[in-house]
């Protein structure tokens, strides 16, 4: 039974009832604003977009890249600065702040194929 809501995660329960699941992408970053911007553009280019993107900054980003573009796309977008350095602390903070049912961790230097999140939802990526 296919999901009728294009662009959202869908799980078909054994009873045949469709449930839409929210997805969150968490991006830890440290002093690489261009790579972060490229990664964020890649997320905006996905055929299935997440409901929420969280950027966790270990450094001193001057601003949150592509904020306006995410607002226009209807994707919740938040940036967090933290004092405790390290990837584990970034992932922990992102997980605590995430509102999605499904959480993806993406490195700031990863630029995904346009169907990456869609394929992940199908058990492919």
Where in the chain are the domains?
22-114
pLDDT, one tens digit per residue, over 78-119 is: 999 998 889 999 999 999 999 999 999 998 767 665 555 654
In CATH, the number for domain 22-114 is 3.90.550.10
Tokens of 114: 């346009």
Tokens of 5: 């809501």
pLDDT, one tens digit per residue, over 9-68 is: 455 555 556 667 899 999 999 988 899 999 999 999 988 899 999 999 998 888 899 999
What sign has the CA pseudo-torsion 23, 65, 112, 93? negative
């Amino acid at each position: 039974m296919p999901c009728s809501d294009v662009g959202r995660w869908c799980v078909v329960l054994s009873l045949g009832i469709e449930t839409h699941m929210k997805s969150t992408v968490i991006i830890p970053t440290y002093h690489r604003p261009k790579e972060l911007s490229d990664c964020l553009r890649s997320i905006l280019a996905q055929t299935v977009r997440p409901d929420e993107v969280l950027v966790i900054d270990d450094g001193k980003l001057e601003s949150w890249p592509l904020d306006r573009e995410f607002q226009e796309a209807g994707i919740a977008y938040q940036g967090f600065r933290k004092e405790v350095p390290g990837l584990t602390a970034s992932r922990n903070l992102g997980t605590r702040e995430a509102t999605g049912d499904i959480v993806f961790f993406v490195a700031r230097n990863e630029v995904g194929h346009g169907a990456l999140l869609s394929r992940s939802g199908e058990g492919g990526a």
